[in-house]
Amino acid sequence: MFNQSDIVRIKLLEVDNAQHLAGDLFERKFNHPIPDFPTHFVLVAYDNQDHILTLGYVHFIQHQNMYLGGGMCVNNRAIRQLTKSMRKRLSQQGGVAFYMLSEAVKKLDDCDAVFGYVGHKGAYKIDLAVGFEQTEHPHLIVYWKADLNEIQKQNTVQTAYEFGPF
C-alpha cells in the first residue's frame, strides 16, 4: 500500500520492458497490450518505504536518426493517491504528462529529432508546450534535437511520415 506522506520521490525511469510497471495502465488506456520494444519511460512515485506508484508512461521507437514516440498516458487513479501538496508540486511543474515527456525528450540524446503522432487535443497541447512543432502532415509533430538545414529537416520529416502512424 502506498504511504500518503510528503516524503515522496518522483523519478522518470527508462526501461527496456515496462510491462511490470505500466502494462495495466497502458492496457486500460489503449485496450491493447503494452509494446514489447524498447525504449519505455515510466514516471513513478516512491513513498518512504519504497513502494512504487506508476504515474505515467510513454514509449519511443528508434528509427534511423530519430525517435518515434507514442502511447503517452497518465494514471489519474495513482495521482489521486498522492498528497495534495505533492499533486500541487507536480502541477507547478506542468503536470505529469508535461514533466514526463519533457524529461524523456531530454534523455533521447542520440538522435536528430523526436516525432509524435498525436490525435488527442489535450496531448497535442502538452506536446506543443514541451517544444514540439507541427509538421505539414496531419497528426505528425517534431521536436528538433539537432541543428539541421531545411533540406535535412524535410527529409527527416518525410522519413517519419513514410513510417506511418506509430
Looking at residue 1, its pLDDT comes to: 57
- The CA distance from 46 to 131, in Å, is 28
Three-state SS across 68-91? EEEEEEECHHHHCCCCHHHHHHHH
Which listed CATH number (2.60.40.1890, 3.40.50.2000, 3.40.50.10490, 3.40.630.30) goes with 9-163?
A: 3.40.630.30
- The CA distance from 9 to 130, in Å, is 22
Distance from the Cα of residue 28 to its chain's centroid: 16
The single residue listed with the C-alpha cell 502532415 is 137
The single residue listed with the C-alpha cell 514489447 is 36
Looking at residue 40, its pLDDT comes to: 97
Looking at residue 34, its pLDDT comes to: 96
Strands (E) in the chain, as ranges, are: 9-15, 40-46, 52-63, 66-74, 113-117, 133-134, 140-144
Looking at residue 119, its pLDDT comes to: 85
Domain boundaries of the chain, sorted by first residue:
9-163
- The CA distance from 164 to 76, in Å, is 30
Element (H, E) at 6: none
**Closest C-alpha among 21, 137, 45, 43 to residue 98:** 43
* Tens digit of each residue's pLDDT, the chain (166 residues): 566 666 678 999 999 999 999 999 999 999 999 999 889 999 999 988 888 999 999 999 999 999 999 999 999 999 999 989 889 989 999 999 999 999 999 999 999 999 999 988 889 999 999 999 999 999 999 999 999 999 999 999 999 999 988 8
Non-local CB neighbours of 17 within 8 Å, separated by 6+ positions: 36, 38, 40
Distance from the Cα of residue 139 to its chain's centroid: 16
